Amino acid sequence: MINDIRGQCDALRVDLNESVRKLRYLRSFIDDGRYFDAYPGQMDEVLSQTMLALRHCEDARMRVGKVLQYADNGTSIYDR
């Protein structure tokens, strides 16, 4: 049973890592000045929402790791 959960979680974490990579690229695209405000004064909101999405993806990846941890034996790999 754990192998099924592990495979699903590992696949999800790969997908989330890809989303994080894309969001970091989007952030660099904005930071490098390749994005211009369609509406004046919106740049701060664009940056804020990008960072919020990035943090949510990173948090989701960590939470999927917790699923693995508790599905296994409940011990963190850092506690071993």
pTM: 0.78
**Distance between CA atoms of residues 11 and 13, nearest Å:** 5
Residue 1 has what pLDDT?
54
Which residue type does 78 have? Y
Residues with Cβ within 8 Å of 71's Cβ and at least 6 positions away in sequence, in order, are 2, 5, 6, 9
Domain ranges of the chain: 2-72
What pLDDT score does 23 carry? 95
> Which pLDDT score is estimated for 79?
60
pLDDT tens across the length of the chain (80 residues): 557 898 999 999 999 999 999 999 999 888 887 777 777 878 888 889 999 999 999 999 999 999 988 888 777 766 65
